[in-house]
Structure 1
Amino acid sequence: MKVVAFERSVQGTGASRRLRNAGKTPGIIYGGAAEPKMIELDHNALFHALKKEAFHSSILDIEVEGKAEKALLRAFQMHPFKPLVLHVDFQRVSATDKIHVKVPLHFMNQENAPGVKLGHGIVNHILNELEVSCLPADLPEFLEVDLGNAELGQTLHLSDIKLPKGVSAITHGDENPAIASISLPAGGVSEAAEGETPAA
């Protein structure tokens, strides 16, 4: 994804306020061998980009004064109650250095899972994103979690997900964390249990 930015020379609260009043958002690009660079971006374009999932988990091409730099979105600050982006941080990436990024999980075939279709269970998403380590070129936009064969009472773990080549998961303490499960809603009864009810 391409992002067009402009270098900014003035800093401080007053300068940032003037930028925002002019429809711009102040930001910074840091990391790598180069010095941190103060930038400004078109607010509306940035606001709409932030609504896209891929913007948060893809390598971005940030063009500043005609020169492109590859970077990741690292942080952004929103106004407490207005639809206003106050500040944005990007981190440069190198093609040869591994990066740590949180990648969204896409849950597939939920409606067709036996635990949902036959067992009347509901899918619980325990994790919605997974932290991974990989080279920038190998970064997936999202990871698929296939629930097509999941039974009632079953829990899918990290080991049940097929990670793309060159991508490894970063787990903090738990080597094989739970990703999703299928359980009965409160007060629910599965068809199998109903069939076992003795006749009066």
Structure 2
Amino acid sequence: MKIEISADKRTLQGKGASRRLRGSGKVPAIIYGGDQASQSIEMDHNDLFHKLRLEAFHASILTLSVAGKKEPVLLRDVQMHPFKKQVLHVDFQRIDKNKKIHMKVPLHFINAEISPGVKTSGGIVSHILTEVDISCLPSDLPEFISVDLAELTAGHTLHLSDLVLPKDVETVALVKGDDLPVATIVIPRSVLSEEASSEEASAEKE
């Protein structure tokens, strides 16, 4: 998904200026990184607020247009108001297409309903991780990584090493030798007690 956002250059600095900016429906932000100086910018609050609700906005290369100049960036930080639906500040990082980036991308779990652990054993999938830190070139950045649960049985766990990653994408933890668990199937107590009762009944008949 290609997402483009617009911003204007921000000249006034300080808490007072930021407060007035927010009062006028704008959000103070900053772009940093690369071989350029950091640039203070301001953005439309409503447009930014709705884009932040998109999963892809947090794990994609964004095209940021400032005064007509476009450049690729990553969303790096979002500060929200403690109890209002208000964005207080956002940080964007410039990217170099020739340098690898580290990015957290969401995991999408598929085929849980046909996995033996769920279909046969009556288990429930427990998502231990919902996102994973990856490393790749900007052009190889996936919006998400699919986790296929079709073969997962009760009592077994999927790990990072079991994931099928896109070409030239690697998980940071696995590179460091840490094969983290991703998902497992848990058998609810109610199912276990039913099985125990059935076994007892069978034993009594025998």
Per the alignment, in what secondary structure is the counterpart of residue 12 of structure 2? coil
State the Cα deviation string for residues 36-94 of structure 1 (Å, max 9, x = none): 00000100011111111100000000000001011100001000110000000000001
Whether 1:80 and 2:82 are equivalent positions in the alignment is yes
User: Is 1:54 aligned with 2:65?
Assistant: no
5+ residue gaps, structure 1, are: none
| 3-state SS of 1:188 partner | helix
Among candidates 57, 62, 65, match of residue 63 of structure 1: 65
TM-score by length of 1: 0.95
Q: Aligned partners of 1:6, 1:191: CA distance in 2, in Å?
A: 63
- Correspondence 1:155-194 to 2 at 5 A: 155-171=157-173, 175-189=178-192
Q: Which stretch has the larger CA shift, 186-195 or 16-25?
A: 186-195
The 1-side partners of 2:197 and 2:138 are apart by: 52
The equivalent residue for 1:115 is: 117
Find the aligned partners of 2:193 and 2:146 in 1 and give their Cα distance. Answer: 27
Q: Quick one: percent identity of the two aligned structures?
A: 55
For residues 57 and 91 of structure 1, the distance between their equivalents in structure 2, rounded to whole angstroms, comes to: 13
How far the C-alpha of 1:154 sits from its partner, in A, is: 1.1
The residue aligned with 1:41 is 43
Local SS of the residue matching 2:179: coil
| Pairing 1:199–2:203 present | yes
Question: What are the ranges of 5 or more consecutive residues in structure 2 without an aligned counterpart?
Answer: none
- The amino acid that maps onto 1:185 is P
Q: CA deviation at 1:196?
A: 5.0
Q: TM-score normalized by structure 2?
A: 0.92
Equivalent position amino acid for 2:40 in 1: M
Residues 149, 194 of structure 1: CA spacing in aligned structure 2 closer, same or farther, 3 A cutoff? farther
State how far apart, in whole Å, the 2-side matches of 1:191 and 1:159 are: 35
Structure 2 Cα separation of the partners of residues 192 and 118 of structure 1? 13
Residues 119, 190 of structure 1: 8 Å contact kept: no
Which residue type is aligned with residue 182 of structure 1? I
Q: Displacement of 1:149 after TM fit?
A: 1.2
Q: Does 1:138 align with 2:140?
A: yes
Q: Residues 121 and 190 of structure 1 are in contact (CA less than 8 Å); yes or no, is this contact kept in structure 2?
A: no
Q: How far apart are the structure 1 equivalents of 2:147 and 2:196?
A: 28
SS at match of 1:95: coil
Aligned length: 200
Q: Distance in 2 between matches of 1:175 and 1:8?
A: 43
1:141-165: CA deviation from partner (whole Å, max 9, x where unpaired): 0000000111111100111101111
Assess if the C-alpha contact under 8 Å between 1:131 and 1:171 holds in 2: yes
Separation of aligned partners in 1, 2:195 and 2:83: 49
Confirm or deny: 8 A CA contact 1:154 1:183 kept in the other structure.
Answer: no
